A and B are shown apart, each in its own frame.
Chain A
């Protein structure tokens, strides 16, 4: 198990490096010149060129990428940074604050919003998925299925504005601006963010449950004389949850993406608004730092999901263990072959 974990963490390295290369390339080729944006409108071309040199932006793509990874030491001190591996990508061109500092400061807000949304979606989707599956084609199943379809089809920014219009403008129940310190203000963004995941997870739970309920071992459980509730909760649910966990894992990533939209709609001070602002102002260090940070979080969440599998499904755990044994044996054979003449 530990061995597996170690392998998975090693695998993260190329993934993260790949992400940095792609993101770096995209910001490199994107139009607009940060140096010109930083200077006043009437700055001369010479000033711009000088600033570009100070920022290291006049170097070739590869040199800049190297700087990005391993640090930059320019002519002045104001644009120096220690590079991605030192978790330092310098300061924001706009706010002049360390980019990772801003991210770490705002990230808990996004975590808060995403966690509330995730809990909400799990608490709603799994029970409704089960009810829907155990009463297939009943009225409640129809309602759930239609609502799930609506939830999947509705874009977050539109749902967010709709909720603001209904609950803030018309009913005046919740504020339209969200701040982490006011729990009431988080309700609408959390609902907005949860809608899509809830819909996806409900559909997944329903179909997975229907699949499991058809299995022979469910019939066996019933033939033992077990209470139907025990059959559903104990025998069916845990098996049905295996694919649902995957989907929830993917949804966590989706929540981070959704946070970008939702936070913008509700002007919520999270990592999503940092990113959107940074992109709008071509604040390259901030863009790079936010995207790399999100990629890292995404990869970690997937790793956690994979580990969770092992706890739900003993067959997967066994695979890890067996794979470990096989590898050890393989090594042993290799050694013994070498030593025997």
Chain B
């Protein structure tokens, strides 16, 4: 593989509380090349947002910490970078679109000011220049420039998400982390926002990590996909391959739970059981208690990462040789 722009090696993130240790991310390795777009799919609580926050160095303090592994971005080890240097990277080289547009904007500042802020921090712009750029950004996301001075409460949910996107794009980031950018929006707005992200990505050649629990959304935008479960990647490969022929039993279960129009189904099939308690993960393969193909070894052996048909998969069903 060529030199990756973002390379995550065996990342482990834990949240420490007084009572317990929550294993949110348990040994994730990923390599992203420039311009690539990766979909990170998994149920709520699979560790997707935690992964994104660790890249930005914004894990909630003081509970969240990276206990092992490394994150390299453009050759720099992010988890060992000083706070001062991280600040230069945040919002500038790497930026993030947050899940809930309703709460992601500061209610007491005009949206224009909130966008301009990122520009003023990272580029030495005069007030007029920053204002001009802000107006351009707003128009880019389809908001008339005369609404720059309005406050978040004067915008609808979809409009707020556009503002959040404009904010994330302000400094032409090299890597964009989009955490469920459309979950809080209704379907028509979802489509608009997704189209916008795709266009912008194409225009700016930004690397994208799209976090979603919606396989459909990922399919529209991404070229690779990683299926996450209990803080681990179960399967990771090209989107066409994974969608056409899911290898991992969990991926299979996920696809089976999507309602299909071309088949008669009385009720939606679901994966039996619940996502495991992250403070008390099962031994061996984390998915084994819910796996329909469970074997004896699954309880004891942690499945290694196997390259199988051009894809990486963590499952004892697939063994080399």
Residues of A within 8 A of B (CB): 215-217, 219-228, 235, 238-239, 312-315, 318
Contact A227 B87 (CB under 8 A): yes
How far, in whole Å, are A238 and B109 apart by their CA atoms in the complex? Answer: 10
Residues of A within 8 A of B151 (CB): 314-315, 318
The yes or no answer to B91 lying at the interface (CB within 8 A) is yes
| Residue contact B105 to A315, C-beta cutoff 8 Å | no
* Contact A314 B58, beta carbon cutoff 8 Å: no
Given contacts A235-B106, A313-B107, A313-B108, contact A223 B96 (CB under 8 A): yes
Pair A224/B121 contact, Cβ less than 8 Å: yes
Question: Chain B contacts of A238 at CB under 8 A?
Answer: 108
Residue among B108, B151, B164, B167 facing the most chain A CB atoms (10 A cut-off): B108
Known: A225-B87, A315-B107. 6 other contacts (CB 8 A): A216-B98, A220-B104, A221-B106, A223-B96, A225-B118, A235-B106
Indicate whether B156 reaches chain A with its CB closer than 8 angstroms.
no
Residue of B with least CB distance to A216: B103
Q: Complex formed: what's the CA distance from A224 to B121 in Å?
A: 8
Kindly provide the distance from the CB of B150 to the nearest chain A CB, expressed in whole angstroms: 9
Complex CA–CA separation, A314 to B110 (angstroms): 9
Q: What residues on B are CB-neighbors of A216 within 8 Å? A: 98, 100, 103-104
Name the A residues within 8 Å of B121 (CB-CB): 224-227
Contact of A224 with B90 at beta-carbon distance under 8 Å, contacts A219-B58, A219-B98 already known:
yes
By the criterion CB–CB under 8 Å, are B96 and A318 in contact?
no
User: How far in angstroms is the closest Cβ of chain B from A79?
Assistant: 56
Total count of chain B residues near the partner, CB < 8 A:
29
Q: Which residues of B contact A228 (CB under 8 A)?
A: 83
Q: Are A217 and B58 in contact (CB under 8 A)?
A: no
Task: Tell me whether B92 is interfacial, beta carbon within 8 Å.
Answer: yes
Q: Name the A residues within 8 Å of B98 (CB-CB).
A: 216, 219-220, 223
Q: How far is the CB of B153 from chain A (nearest CB, A)?
A: 5
Let me know if B205 is at the binding interface, CB within 8 A.
no
Shortest Cβ gap from A84 to chain B (Å): 42
**Contact assessment for B100 and A222 in the assembled complex, using a CB-CB cutoff below 8 Å:** no
Report whether over half of chain A's contact residues are helix, strand or loop; otherwise say mixed: helix
Instruction: Say whether B89 contacts A225, CB under 8 Å.
Output: yes
In this assembly, does B56 line the interface, its C-beta being within 8 Å of a C-beta of chain A?
Answer: yes
CB contact between B107 and one of A219, A221, A226, A239 (< 8 Å): that residue: A239
A-B contact pairs, 22 of them (CB 8 A): A216-B103, A217-B104, A217-B105, A219-B58, A220-B164, A220-B167, A223-B56, A223-B58, A224-B95, A224-B117, A225-B90, A225-B121, A225-B122, A226-B87, A226-B91, A226-B117, A227-B121, A235-B109, A239-B106, A239-B108, A314-B153, A315-B151
A215 to B87, CA, bound (A): 19
A315: B residues at CB distance < 8 A: 107-108, 151, 153
Q: Is the CB of A223 within 8 A of B90?
A: yes
- Minimum CB–CB distance from B41 to chain A (whole Å) comes to 22
Residue of B nearest to A236 (CB): B106
Least Cβ–Cβ distance between B119 and chain A, in angstroms = 9
A222, A227, A235: the one contacting B58 at CB < 8 Å is A222
- Determine the chain B residues whose CB is within 8 A of the CB of A221 once the complex forms: 106, 117
Judge whether B223 is part of the interface by a CB distance below 8 angstroms: no
Task: Specify which of B58, B88, B91 lies most central, judged by the most chain A CB atoms within 10 Å of its CB.
Answer: B91
CB distance from B122 to the nearest CB of A (A): 6
**Residue of B at shortest CB range from A220?**
B104
Q: Could you say which residues of chain A place their CB within 8 Å of the CB of B100?
A: 216
A-chain residues with CB within 8 Å of residue B167 when the two chains form the complex = 220, 224
For the complex, give the distance between the alpha carbons of A221 and B96 in Å.
11
A225 to B81, CA, bound (A): 14
Supposing A223-B58, A225-B92, A225-B118 touch, asked if A314 and B87 sit within 8 A by C-beta, the answer is no
Minimum distance in angstroms from A70 CB to a CB of chain B: 48
In whole Å, how far is A236's beta carbon from the nearest beta carbon of chain B? 9
Is residue B154 within 8 Å, beta carbon to beta carbon, of the partner chain? yes
Once bound together, how far apart are the Cα atoms of A221 and B168, in whole Å? 11
Q: How far is the CB of B74 from chain A (nearest CB, A)?
A: 16
Q: Select from chain A the residue with minimum beta-carbon distance to B99.
A: A216
* Cα-based distance from A108 to B117 in the complex (angstroms): 45
Inter-subunit contact B90/A222 (CB<8 Å): yes
| Contact, CB under 8 Å: A220 / B106 | yes
A289 CA to B225 CA in the complex, in Å?
A: 77
Smallest CB gap from B53: residue in A: A219
Nearest opposing residue in chain B for A226, CB measure: B121
CB distance from A137 to the nearest CB of B (A): 9
Q: Which residues of B contact A225 (CB under 8 A)?
A: 87-92, 118, 121-122
Distance A220 CA – B164 CA, assembled complex (angstroms): 9
Q: Which 5 A-B pairs have the closest CB atoms?
A: A225-B91, A225-B90, A224-B91, A216-B103, A217-B106
